[in-house]
Each structure stands twice: as C-alpha cells, then as structure tokens.
Amino acid sequence: MTLENEIAEQLSQGKPVRINKKGEIEIVDSHGKPITQHKPVKISKKGEIVDSQGKPVTQLKAQTWYGWQSSNPGRLIQEKQAMNHRFPGFQLYNLQNGLTWIGYLSPKSSGSRSYKIAVVYPNDFPYSEPKVYTLSPKIRSPKHQYTDGSLCLMYPGDGTWNTNTTAVQIVAMTAAWLFCYEYHEKHCPTRCSEVPCKYWPGAEVH
C-alpha cells in the first residue's frame, strides 16, 4: 500500500495523524508521541492550550466591540507561542482583514506541491474560529469550500471548535483537508460535489 493510500485509510477510519515541522502529514500509531511542553504553554494533541493536568487554561469573556488582541493580549501571546512551537515556519501579520498567519503546507510526506495558506482571525476570536484561504495555488473545490473561498474544515456546531482551541489545530485540519482535496481530485473520475464520496478520504457530513 502506498503512503498516500495509508494516510487516506488512516483518515477514513478516524485514526490519528501527525503534522511534522515541515507541515507534512504523517501516520502515527494510537500512542503517538505527545507534544512536548514549551513553558508557559502546553499544547494538547488537539492543539488546545492546557495545563499539566490537561485542563483548559483560558476562560475568556466575549469582547466583540474592538479587536480581540487588544482586549485579550495574554491570549495573543499564547497563540504566538503555540504556533511558533508547532509551526515555526508560519509568520503572523496584522492585515486589513485582521491578524493573519501565513505559511506553507504540503499535504503528503513527499511528492506533493506546497500550498501557501492564510489563517485569518475573526474579530470575535476565540468565540468564532479563524478562516483559512489558499493563496497559491488558488483552489475552487466543489466540495467543502465556502463561496468566499474559505475552506470548510469542520461541521458547524459539532463541538470541534471551542474557546481554548488554538490556530495550531486549524493549521493541522487544513493540512488534512488539502490531502483529502488532492486525493479526491486525483481519484474521483468526475471530481464530483457529492457528499459523501468514497474518493474523499476524510469524514463527511450529509
């Protein structure tokens, strides 16, 4: 079985994968190595900010009338530490649309092109998740992509996103999405928009 098919099978069965420092998706066993502690932040396997007992360390109240980074500067520091620890190749920019991480991901361990992506924080972060866009090459997928071009990484309201989840998890989900997209484009004979499709290796919701 090729590495590509192994990753596809791993995703379809809901088994863990790991994103390495190059932004490549790798297979890990059910006892995958935990993310090492980087004081004062520890990142869980889900990309969440937790203490040494695995409990969330952020409890924030909504502040939506001005930038979240101004009302919660401590959270901004935590986001930077988490991303610099897990995805050091990404850079944070203060753009017109909001604070944005920009970096490159390769959805397979070898032989795949790199995608330049932007992870844009919303004004009401962390009560809404960041949006992700592919800057180059541009993607227009018939599946799991919103009309504004942002990627649909999770089913709204399913609990995947919560207030202590960091951009780390969003980047990891983006790598998995890109892998699924490339796999579908390569193997689906009609490049369909049907959900589910056996050629989309990740989970899909009707």
Write down all domains in the chain, each with its CATH number in brackets: 3-187 (3.10.110.10)
pTM of this prediction? 0.74
Tell me the DSSP string of the chain.
--HHHHHHHHHHTT--EEE-TTSBEEE--TTPPPPPPBTTBEE-TTSBEE-TTS-B--------SS-HHHH-HHHHHHHHHHHHHH-TT-EEEEETTEEEEEEEEBSSSSS---EEEEEE--TTTTSSPPEEEEEES----SSSB-TTS-B--S-TTSSS--TTB-HHHHHHHHHHHHHHHHHHHHH-TT----SS-TT--S----
Each of the 206 residues of the chain gets a pLDDT tens digit; together they read 666 666 667 666 666 666 666 655 566 665 655 333 334 446 666 666 666 667 665 444 444 445 788 878 889 999 999 999 999 999 999 888 889 999 999 876 546 689 999 999 998 898 889 999 999 998 888 889 999 999 999 877 677 788 888 999 999 999 999 999 999 998 999 999 998 899 998 888 76
